[in-house]
């Protein structure tokens, strides 16, 4: 197994030295490394990348523990004055700690720095062998069992959350600073609310964000945070002003970003009514494909079903999974759109797509609106959503599912036809803005081209058999035939997006963007600043 494969299997992404040095500069703003009463512990040291940034004279007061014996040997050679030892922080108890650290943990006159980059992974089977650590989905550690018994639910599956839980049990009330590299989910995500409710209420002391791709072997375009917390000072995170300096991939300063910690009741995913789904209907895994192989199939729709909104999660990570379908989505995360929740569903769909996803906003949460929604805003969102690329509505004939045959109608078809369709009826009575009307007219021309050239299109591939073909089928068939000229449409659709985008901030769906400020005062990351004066 290569080092990269091991990192991906264990969630161990080693901290590059420039990042470790930058973290140390921030630590020196709040902790006096020269104090002989200060001790440091890195309980997930790996090969000691964080420790490479530390001043040589400080290492004699440092404890370095790691899971694998080979890493312990490496750390003992690299840092001979530090105390390096093998220790499984998520499974071993205090009795396995060296006597020296046990004695100093009991010394109330000492102050502690926990400088750590814990694993990011979630794993089902976590198995320690002589030569490696394996995990597949969720780690079943001793700490996870304690967290489950403590009522912490799904968040107990995350290895980083397990480290936070163990650290709280070990250091709460002590004079200690936690300097933590990690994702920032624990600050604002709904899944991590139990952590904030039960114990994570420490006082924020500063930090920064940077793109995860700086870590070799990471997958995904998300931010990693370095945040410092005082474990003997407490305040709910929702009451704290958590502002982080932001650095790009080359560690150039970009500005400042505020991270919000709102209770679940303020998040968008609870704003939309979810009608009770009782009627069996073929579930779709994509616009055209019936998902009949999933063990956990969601094959029910509500009465008065119009379409399905796939909207799993509540942050930008899930933007790519936000879409509209003409039947239930096969797995978790979908809900039935009905006449009673149609407009809100279209607003939610638009809000989750209007701001492009980036590495920096990947963990940003969507919130319930803080003001009444203007009718024009709602109507603009409906029109934008009906013609978004994430509208995967389709019309499918004679769909066989579990011994029955179904007709899937496209209720999001925008024009009147042989039968009534919900979207066409809605559009016929809605007061549309100039921008929305321009989108509608530009889309009409695409439909006209589609109908005029229907006989030349690959109707079999796109399963086009009825007059109410979906926006996905129309665009796909025209594009495959080289007949899709949508430049005018895309320009009008983009104008509508630009009109809506600032409103999703002013109405409270999203919080502040990056604040452009003078560069953070940290020294260049390729060197370590001299220690600042002792904190008062």
pLDDT in tens, 424-451: 999 999 999 999 999 999 999 999 999 9
Cα dihedral 52, 54, 60, 62 sign: negative
- What pLDDT is attached to residue 332? 85
The CATH number that domain 3-260 falls under is 3.40.50.150
Is residue 125's pLDDT more than 80? no
Q: Which of 218-232, 236-250, 284-298, 477-491 has the lowest mean pLDDT?
A: 284-298
- What pLDDT is attached to residue 333? 86
- What pLDDT is attached to residue 458? 97
- What pLDDT is attached to residue 13? 53
Q: What value does the mean pLDDT take over residues 39-63? A: 96
What's the rounded Cα separation, in Å, for the pair 355 and 292?
34
Confidence of residue 219 (pLDDT cuts 50, 70, 90): confident
Look at residue 247 and give its three-state secondary structure. Answer: strand
- 94-100 CB contacts, 8 Å cutoff, 24+ apart: 94/170
Which range in 117-126, 496-505, 512-521, 527-536 is most confidently predicted, on average pLDDT? 496-505
Contacts of 196 (CB under 8 A, 6+ apart): 186, 187, 236, 237, 238, 261
CA terminus-to-terminus distance, the chain? 49
* Percent of the chain at pLDDT exceeding 90: 82
Is residue 53's pLDDT more than 80? yes
Q: Which of 170-174, 411-415, 524-528 has the lowest mean pLDDT?
A: 524-528
* Percent of the chain at pLDDT exceeding 70: 90
Is residue 135's pLDDT more than 90? no
Between strands 83-86 and 133-134, the pairing is unpaired
- What pLDDT is attached to residue 4? 45
In order of 20, 132, 281, the CA distances from 69 in angstroms are 23, 10, 55
Q: Are 316 and 510 in contact (CB under 8 A)?
A: no
Is residue 175's pLDDT more than 60? yes
- What pLDDT is attached to residue 516? 75
Q: What value does the mean pLDDT take over residues 207-215? A: 94
Is residue 521's pLDDT more than 80? no
- What pLDDT is attached to residue 294? 76
450-462 pLDDT, tens digit per residue, is 999 999 999 999 9
- 29-35 CB contacts, 8 Å cutoff, 24+ apart: 29/206, 29/532, 30/177, 30/205, 30/206, 30/228, 30/230, 30/535, 31/111, 31/113, 31/177, 31/179, 31/535, 32/531, 32/534, 32/535, 33/58, 33/531, 34/531, 34/534, 35/111, 35/534
Q: What value does the mean pLDDT take over residues 20-41? A: 97
Q: What value does the mean pLDDT take over residues 502-523? A: 79
Q: Which residue has the higher pLDDT, 139 or 468?
A: 468
- What pLDDT is attached to residue 534? 35
For the chain, give every domain's residue range. 3-260, 268-506
Look at residue 118 and give its three-state secondary structure. Answer: coil
Q: What value does the mean pLDDT take over residues 242-247? A: 96
- What pLDDT is attached to residue 365? 95
Closest by CA position to 521, among listed 159, 274, 208 = 208
- What pLDDT is attached to residue 216? 75
Is residue 52's pLDDT more than 70? yes
Look at residue 454 and give its three-state secondary structure. Answer: helix
What's the rounded Cα separation, in Å, for the pair 224 and 59?
26
Q: Strand pairing partners for 207?
A: 227
Is residue 131's pLDDT more than 60? no
291-334 pLDDT, tens digit per residue, is 888 777 899 999 999 999 999 899 999 999 999 999 999 888 89
Write out 385-428 in H/E/C secondary structure: HHCCCCECCCCEEEEEECCEEEEECCCCCCCCCCCCCHHHHHHH
- What pLDDT is attached to residue 518? 56
Q: What value does the mean pLDDT take over residues 481-491? A: 97
For residue 300, count CB atoms less than 10 angstroms from its CB and return exposed for 0-12, middle for 13-18, buried for 19 or more.
Answer: middle
Supply the mean pLDDT for the chain.
90
Q: Which residue has the higher pLDDT, 498 or 265?
A: 498
- What pLDDT is attached to residue 417? 86
- What pLDDT is attached to residue 536? 33
What's the rounded Cα separation, in Å, for the pair 144 and 179?
22
Q: What value does the mean pLDDT take over residues 9-27? A: 80
**Torsion from C-alpha of 296, 266, 259, 188, nearest 10 degrees:** -40
Is residue 119's pLDDT more than 50? yes
């Amino acid at each position: 197994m290569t080092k990269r494969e091991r990192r991906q299997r264990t969630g161990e992404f080693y901290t590059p030295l420039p990042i470790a040095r930058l973290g140390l500069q921030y630590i020196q703003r709040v902790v006096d490394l020269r104090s002989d009463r200060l001790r440091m512990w890195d309980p997930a040291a790996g090969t000691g990348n964080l420790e490479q940034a530390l001043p040589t004279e400080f290492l004699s007061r440092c404890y370095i523990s790691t899971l694998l014996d080979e890493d312990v040997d490496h750390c003992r050679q690299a840092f001979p004055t530090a105390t390096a030892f093998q220790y499984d922080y998520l499974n071993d108890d205090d009795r396995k700690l060296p006597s020296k650290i046990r004695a100093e943990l009991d010394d109330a006159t000492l102050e502690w720095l926990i400088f750590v980059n814990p694993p990011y992974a979630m794993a089902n089977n976590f198995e320690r062998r002589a030569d490696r650590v394996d995990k597949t989905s969720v780690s079943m550690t001793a700490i996870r069992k304690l967290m489950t018994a403590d009522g912490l639910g799904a968040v107990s599956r995350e290895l980083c959350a397990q480290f936070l839980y163990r650290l709280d049990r070990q250091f709460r009330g002590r004079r200690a600073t936690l300097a933590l590299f990690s994702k920032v989910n624990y600050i604002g995500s709904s899944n991590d609310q139990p952590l904030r409710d039960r114990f994570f209420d420490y006082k924020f002391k500063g930090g920064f964000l940077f793109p995860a791709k700086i870590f070799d072997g990471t997958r995904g375009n998300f931010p990693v945070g370095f945040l410092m917390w005082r474990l003997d000072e407490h305040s709910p995170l929702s009451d704290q002003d958590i502002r982080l300096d932001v650095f790009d991939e080359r560690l150039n300063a970009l500005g400042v970003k505020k991270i919000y910690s709102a209770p679940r009741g303020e998040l968008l995913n609870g704003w939309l009514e979810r009608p009770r789904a009782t009627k069996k209907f073929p579930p779709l895994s994509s616009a055209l494909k019936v998902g009949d192989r999933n063990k956990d199939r969601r094959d029910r729709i509500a009465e008065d079903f119009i379409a399905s909104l796939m909207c799993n999660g509540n942050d930008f990570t899930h933007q790519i999974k936000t879409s509209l379908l003409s039947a239930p989505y096969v797995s978790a995360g979908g809900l039935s759109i009905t006449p009673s929740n149609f407009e809100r569903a279209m607003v939610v769909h638009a809000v989750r797509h209007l701001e492009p996803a980036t590495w920096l906003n990947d963990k940003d949460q969507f919130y319930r609106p803080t003001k009444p929604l203007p009718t024009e805003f709602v109507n603009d969102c409906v029109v934008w959503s009906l013609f978004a690329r994430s509208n995967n509505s389709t019309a499918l004939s004679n769909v066989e599912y579990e011994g029955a045959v179904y007709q899937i109608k496209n209720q999001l078809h925008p024009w009147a036809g042989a039968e009534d369709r919900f979207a066409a009826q809605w559009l016929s009575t809605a007061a549309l803005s100039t921008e929305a009307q321009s989108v509608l007219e530009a889309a009409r021309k695409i439909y006209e081209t589609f109908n005029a050239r229907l006989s030349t299109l690959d109707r079999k591939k796109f399963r086009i058999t009825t007059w109410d073909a979906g926006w996905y089928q129309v665009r796909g068939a025209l594009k495959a035939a080289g007949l899709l000229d949508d430049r005018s449409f895309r320009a009008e659709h983009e104008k509508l997006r630009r009109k809506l985008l600032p409103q999703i901030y002013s109405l409270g769906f999203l919080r502040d963007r990056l604040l452009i400020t003078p560069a953070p005062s940290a020294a260049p990351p390729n060197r370590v600043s001299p220690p600042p004066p002792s904190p008062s």
